[in-house]
Amino acid sequence: MFAAENGLKGDPRLQGISQAIRVVPHFPKPGIMFQDITTLLLDHKAFKDTVDIFVDRYRGMNISVVAGVEARGFMFGPSIALSIGAKFVPLRKPRKLPGEVISEAYDLEYGTDCLEMQIDAVKTGERALVIDDLVATGGTLSAAIGLLERMGAEVVECACVVGLREVKGQRRLDGKPLYILVEPRQLDECF
């Protein structure tokens, strides 16, 4: 679901956030219109508005875990976690986390990748939010949901700054609500 259709219709912050994202054609490979959120991080108002919108939505929902996806979920997740009184759990690419981990492989456009989570990071019954910068195919978020559910956590919602109107033809992801602030810019050429 898009923020503009869920309480933030006409909110000028959404347009500011969209405009702060730089589109880089043909990065990292030909044909990709890369949605570069580093320019949003350079824009104090747009960065703060992004975090504030998520904090306003998730405060008071009894969420104790904010799980951020490497690498760009790490740029938004900790601020949200601190503000809503949750812990931050990094979901990392393989062989980055010490100790005992669980892994979930997922499909990319070409090939596969994997996310890992430390087994002592989350307890059964905890309520979790998954945060990333962008959802395209949804494969990465599905892996994140899988990790949390295997540890007995309840995934309340997945949240992204940028996303397609439909992921895998659905507005939900593995049955979980998906909350997106803005659509990709120059959508037709993006994905």
Ligand X SMILES: Nc1ncnc2[nH]cnc12
Give me the residues that bind ligand PRP (CB under 6 A), please: 69-72, 132-140
Residue 8 vs residues 5, 11, 127: alpha-carbon distances, Å: 7, 5, 24
Q: Are 24 and 33 a contacting pair, CB within 8 Å?
A: yes
Is residue 41 part of the contact set for ligand X (CB under 6 A)?
no
Which secondary-structure segment (H or E) carries 190? Answer: helix 187-190
Residue (22 or 127) nearer to ligand X, CB? 22
In the bound complex, what is the minimum distance in angstroms from residue 6's beta carbon to ligand PRP? Answer: 21
User: Residue 69 binds which entry of ligand PRP, ligand X, none, with Cβ cut-offs from 5 to 8 Å by kind?
Assistant: ligand PRP
User: Residue 135 binds which entry of ligand X, ligand PRP, none, with Cβ cut-offs from 5 to 8 Å by kind?
Assistant: ligand PRP
Q: Are 133 and 112 a contacting pair, CB within 8 Å?
A: no
- Single out the catalytic residue among 57, 72, 92, 116: 72
Strand 65-69 relative to strand 112-118, pairing: unpaired
x-or-dash string of contact with ligand X, 3-32, rule CB under 6 A: -----------------------------x
CB neighbourhood size of 178 (10 A): 23
**Known catalytic residue: 59?**
no
Task: Report the residue from 17, 33, 84, 180 that binds ligand X according to the rule CB under 6 A.
Answer: 33
- Single out the catalytic residue among 5, 59, 109, 166: 109
Q: Are 146 and 166 a contacting pair, CB within 8 Å?
A: no
β-bridge mates for residue 113, sequence order: 106
**Known catalytic residue: 72?**
yes
Task: Report the residue from 34, 51, 127, 171 that binds ligand X according to the rule CB under 6 A.
Answer: 34
Report cis status (omega within 30 of 0) of the bond before 71. Answer: yes
Q: Give the residues lining the site for ligand X (CB under 6 A).
A: 32-35, 134, 136, 190
